[in-house]
């Protein structure tokens, strides 16, 4: 009899020749951008002075009672539906008990075995390949307060260290998305999170600001012999909020686990800490991590029921999701799937691209520019798509000049840089910096003749049969004209000059 598929595999493995494969599962927390907190009327704080948004409910004064925020349920349901989950007509809240200064009630109101939504899936791309990760559930809870740990001498009162507590964050609506262990590599884990974040932002339910910890996650990882259906024992990296550190941490943990197993050891199920400085994963003291949360149903809240018609309405009004948009970009604009994932993955980038195409710009030309010069500019300037001086209409004006042959592709890059630098318009910059494409045959013929005269050895080689040198001559003429020459015309003139004939003539 074979083992059930979910039984952890934790026998010492002595076969050192077998290849290993990683298995990764993510638990993602997202703070919702509601006006008020999950169970009280306090405003959700956006960088306000500490402890200015508190009340008896979120400070856990005796006798204060929680009331569920309907908008938070709606936002959570939107996320669940976008992940193809079933929103359950009835769910209940539980108390998750633990004692820590960030939690004045000494329990967090969360959901447990009857969550809001279950059984979905998320499609994401890794290097142009579509992967699917099953989603176990989406549940609602409240965020804890924020602890500010004071360090050094300043952090000591009467010789002991102390922390400050800001209760503004306490009670902020939070959802947890629990993914199944379906993610096959650290790179895929990073893509999963990046694209999940784009999905949530596109739903308008959270800005997912990384610095403010509006999206953060735990990463679980195990290894198993490649192709094995079993799951190995996992370790967990807790509370991360950097894509880069996530990938680095998983890439460090992977060889560590393999080395333990290959040495005949066992993986201990534990929580690890990743130190970006040393690149190593080390165990957190596991005693303190061995919680017993003593979950029990929250007696102060009635079960949450949602009407089917309401859920249907939410489903009907979901915006176009990134996965569907990628497919539409492929079909509508003839883009490769890779280009479509870059352009359609995030809502603001997709909007900018479509604004450009709506100005009558060829979709392929627009794609090349948005993914090339324009993205490089956004990165360098720290801007998001559509922001800054170069708006879609301004870039469209430049690309129209390229399409019409008024500016060469090379010169257009210079024009673009000058548009950014001088905050000007394409046409005006082309005129002022003399960057119009030269299609004047007389002028170009002279440039060709000069280049051939300057390279007699290459001309001889060409005539002796080394025809690929034509490209070299064209390049030299482009250089001599600072990229302004019409390259097609130059190519024609170079070949004609080398053959000793008039361009366009059929006689050889
Ligand atoms: P817990 O709630 O105790 O953390 P769960 O079984 O609910 O435990 O799993 C939590 C997360 O761990 C999920 O995201 C799941 O995908 C992941 N996970 C579970 N088993 C494994 C495994 N063997 N390898 C990698 N990830 C795993
Ligand atoms: Zn409050
Ligand atoms: Mg966990």
CATH number, domain of 466, equals 1.10.10.410
If one residue of 21, 25, 192, 267 were mutated to test the ligand 1 pocket, choosing by the most ligand atoms within 8 A of its CB, it would be: 25
CA of 69 from ligand 2 middle (Å) equals 12
CA 79 to chain centre: 16
Q: Which residues surround ligand 2, an ion (CB under 5 A)?
A: 40, 42, 55, 57-58
Ligand nearest to the CA of 168: 2
Is residue 504 domain-resident? no
If one residue of 94, 181, 219 were mutated to test the ligand 1 pocket, choosing by the most ligand atoms within 8 A of its CB, it would be: 181
Q: Let me know whether 392 and 462 are in one domain.
A: no
Query: Which atom of ligand 1 has the smallest separation from the CA of 181?
Result: 16
CA of 136 from ligand 1 middle (Å) equals 10
CA of 4 from ligand 3 middle (Å) equals 22
pLDDT of amino acid 7: 44
Alpha helices in 147-301 (DSSP H): 186-202, 243-262, 286-289
Using DSSP, state whether 163 is helix, strand or coil. strand
Q: What angle do CA 377, 365, 470 make, to 5 degrees?
A: 100
Say if residue 460's pLDDT is above 80.
Answer: yes
Q: Let me know whether 151 and 277 are in one domain.
A: yes
Task: Look at residues 301, 317, 334 and tell me which one is the last residue of a structural domain.
Answer: 301
- Which of residues 41 and 47 earns the better pLDDT score? 41
Ligand nearest to the CA of 142: 2
Domain range for 389: 346-432
pLDDT of amino acid 114: 96
Is residue 313 domain-resident? no
Confidence of residue 18 (pLDDT cuts 50, 70, 90): low
CA of 58 from ligand 2 middle (Å) equals 4
Distance CA(266)–CA(10), nearest Å, equals 6
pLDDT of amino acid 8: 45
Confidence of residue 5 (pLDDT cuts 50, 70, 90): very low
pLDDT of amino acid 42: 96
Query: Which atom of ligand 1 has the smallest separation from the CA of 231?
Result: 23
Q: Let me know whether 262 and 401 are in one domain.
A: no
Is residue 462 domain-resident? yes
Ligand nearest to the CA of 26: 1
Say if residue 9's pLDDT is above 60.
Answer: no
Query: Which residues line ligand 1 at a C-beta cut-off of 6 Å?
Result: 23-27, 178-181, 220-222, 231-232, 234
- The size of the chain, in residues, is 508
Is residue 391 domain-resident? yes
How confident is the model over 122-142, as a mean pLDDT?
93
365-424, pLDDT tens digit by residue? 999 999 999 999 988 988 889 898 999 999 999 999 888 888 888 889 988 999 989 888
Is residue 341 domain-resident? no
Confidence of residue 489 (pLDDT cuts 50, 70, 90): confident
Distance CA(123)–CA(169), nearest Å, equals 32
CA of 87 from ligand 2 middle (Å) equals 27
- Which of residues 98 and 329 earns the better pLDDT score? 329
Residue for token pair 């039984």: 7
Query: Which atom of ligand 1 has the smallest separation from the CA of 232?
Result: 23
Ligand nearest to the CA of 235: 1
**Whose Cα sits closest to atom 24 in ligand 1?**
222
Is residue 256 domain-resident? yes
Q: Let me know whether 253 and 219 are in one domain.
A: yes
Confidence of residue 432 (pLDDT cuts 50, 70, 90): confident
Distance CA(377)–CA(368), nearest Å, equals 14
If one residue of 132, 139, 234, 257 were mutated to test the ligand 1 pocket, choosing by the most ligand atoms within 8 A of its CB, it would be: 234
CA of 158 from ligand 3 middle (Å) equals 37
Task: Look at residues 376, 407, 432 and tell me which one is the last residue of a structural domain.
Answer: 432
b/e for 308-323, b at 16 or more Cβ within 10 A?
Answer: eeebeebeeeeeebbb
pLDDT of amino acid 448: 87
Q: Let me know whether 109 and 241 are in one domain.
A: yes
CA of 218 from ligand 3 middle (Å) equals 7
Cβ neighbours around 98 below 10 Å, total: 14
Confidence of residue 6 (pLDDT cuts 50, 70, 90): very low
Q: Let me know whether 161 and 243 are in one domain.
A: yes
| DSSP one-letter string for 18-61 | S-EEEEEEEEEEEE---SB-SSSSPBPPSSPPTT-S--TTTTT-
256-315, pLDDT tens digit by residue? 999 999 888 888 888 888 888 888 888 876 544 456 888 999 999 999 999 999 999 999
How confident is the model over 109-113, as a mean pLDDT?
95
Confidence of residue 208 (pLDDT cuts 50, 70, 90): very high
Is residue 322 domain-resident? no
If one residue of 27, 249, 253, 289 were mutated to test the ligand 1 pocket, choosing by the most ligand atoms within 8 A of its CB, it would be: 27
CA of 285 from ligand 3 middle (Å) equals 16
Q: What percent of the chain has pLDDT over 70?
A: 92
**Whose Cα sits closest to atom 13 in ligand 1?**
25
Task: Look at residues 301, 319, 354 and tell me which one is the last residue of a structural domain.
Answer: 301
Q: Let me know whether 408 and 495 are in one domain.
A: no
**Whose Cα sits closest to atom 7 in ligand 1?**
178
Query: Which atom of ligand 1 has the smallest separation from the CA of 25?
Result: 16
Q: Let me know whether 293 and 370 are in one domain.
A: no
CA of 307 from ligand 3 middle (Å) equals 31
Is residue 157 domain-resident? yes
**Whose Cα sits closest to atom 19 in ligand 1?**
181
Ligand nearest to the CA of 291: 1
pLDDT of amino acid 434: 78
Look up the pTM and report it: 0.80
Q: Let me know whether 105 and 249 are in one domain.
A: yes
CA 80 to chain centre: 19
Ligand nearest to the CA of 267: 1
Query: Which atom of ligand 1 has the smallest separation from the CA of 221?
Result: 25
Residue for token pair 């024609």: 492
The answer to whether 24 touches 220, Cβ cutoff 8 Å, is: yes
CA of 234 from ligand 1 middle (Å) equals 7
How confident is the model over 444-471, as a mean pLDDT?
86
Residue for token pair 């949602």: 306
pLDDT of amino acid 416: 92
pLDDT of amino acid 508: 38
Average pLDDT in the chain? 87
Distance CA(322)–CA(344), nearest Å, equals 6
495, containing H or E segment: helix 487-499
CA of 235 from ligand 1 middle (Å) equals 9
Ligand nearest to the CA of 28: 1
Q: What percent of the chain has pLDDT over 90?
A: 54
Q: Let me know whether 66 and 130 are in one domain.
A: yes
444 Cβ contact list (under 8 Å, min separation 6): 438, 477, 481, 485, 486, 489, 490, 493
CA of 458 from ligand 3 middle (Å) equals 68
- Which of residues 231 and 504 earns the better pLDDT score? 231
CA of 51 from ligand 1 middle (Å) equals 35
238: left (phi over 0), alpha (psi -120 to 50) or beta: beta
* Choice among 9-23, 154-168, 229-243 with the minimum mean pLDDT: 9-23
Q: Let me know whether 135 and 184 are in one domain.
A: yes
Number of domains in the chain: 3
Distance CA(222)–CA(22), nearest Å, equals 6
Q: Let me know whether 419 and 448 are in one domain.
A: no
3-class secondary structure per residue, 85-135: CEECCEECEEEEECCCCCCCCCEEEEECCCCCEEEEEEEEEECCEEEEEEE
3-class secondary structure per residue, 134-152: EEEEEEEEECCCEEEECCC
């Amino acid at each position: 009899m074979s083992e059930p598929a979910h039984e952890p595999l934790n026998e010492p493995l002595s076969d050192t020749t077998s290849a290993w494969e990683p298995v990764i599962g993510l638990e993602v927390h997202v703070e919702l951008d509601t006006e008020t907190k999950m169970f009280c009327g306090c405003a959700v704080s956006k960088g306000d002075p500490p402890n200015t948004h508190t009340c008896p409910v979120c400070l856990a004064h005796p006798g204060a009672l929680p009331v569920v925020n309907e908008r938070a349920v709606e936002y959570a349901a939107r996320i669940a539906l976008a992940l193809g989950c079933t929103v359950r007509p009835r769910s209940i809240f539980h108390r998750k008990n633990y004692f820590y200064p960030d939690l004045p009630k000494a329990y967090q109101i969360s959901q447990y075995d009857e969550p809001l939504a279950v059984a979905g899936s998320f499609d994401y791309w890794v290097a142009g390949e579509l992967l699917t990760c099953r989603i176990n559930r989406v549940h609602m809870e409240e965020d804890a307060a924020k602890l500010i740990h004071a360090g050094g001498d300043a952090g000591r009162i009467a010789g002991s260290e102390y922390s400050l507590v800001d209760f503004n964050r306490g009670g902020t609506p939070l959802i947890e998305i629990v993914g199944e262990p379906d993610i096959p590599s650290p790179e895929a884990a990073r893509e999963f999170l990046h694209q999940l974040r784009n999905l949530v932002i596109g739903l308008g339910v959270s800005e997912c600001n990384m610095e403010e910890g509006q999206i953060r996650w735990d990463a679980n990882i195990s290894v198993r012999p490649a192709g094995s259906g079993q799951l190995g024992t996992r370790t967990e990296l807790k509370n991360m909020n950097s894509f880069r550190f996530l990938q680095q941490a998983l890439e460090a943990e992977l060889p560590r686990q393999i080395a333990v197993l290959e040495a005949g050891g066992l993986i201990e199920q534990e929580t690890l800490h990743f130190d970006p400085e040393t690149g190593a994963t080390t165990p957190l003291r596991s005693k303190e991590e061995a919680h017993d949360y003593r979950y029990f149903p929250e007696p102060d809240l009635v079960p949450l029921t949602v009407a089917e018609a309401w859920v249907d309405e939410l489903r009907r009004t979901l915006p176009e999701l990134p996965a569907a948009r990628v497919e539409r970009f492929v079909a509508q604009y003839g883009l490769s799937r890779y280009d479509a994932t870059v352009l359609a993955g995030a809502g603001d980038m997709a909007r900018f691209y479509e604004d450009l195409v709506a100005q009558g710009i060829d979709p392929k030309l627009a794609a090349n520019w948005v993914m090339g010069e324009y993205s490089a500019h956004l990165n360098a300037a720290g801007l998001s798509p559509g922001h800054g001086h170069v708006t879609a209409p301004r870039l469209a004006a430049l690309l129209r000049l390229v399409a019409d042959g008024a500016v060469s592709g090379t010169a257009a890059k210079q024009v673009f840089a000058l548009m950014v630098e001088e905050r000007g318009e394409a046409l005006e910059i082309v005129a002022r910096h003399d960057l119009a494409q030269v299609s004047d045959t007389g002028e170009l013929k002279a440039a060709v003749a000069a280049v051939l005269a300057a390279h007699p050895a290459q001309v001889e080689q060409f005539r002796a049969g080394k025809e690929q040198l034509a490209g070299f001559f064209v390049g030299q003429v482009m250089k001599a004209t600072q990229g302004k020459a019409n390259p097609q015309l130059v190519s024609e003139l170079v070949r004609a000059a080398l053959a000793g004939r008039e361009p366009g003539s059929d006689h050889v």
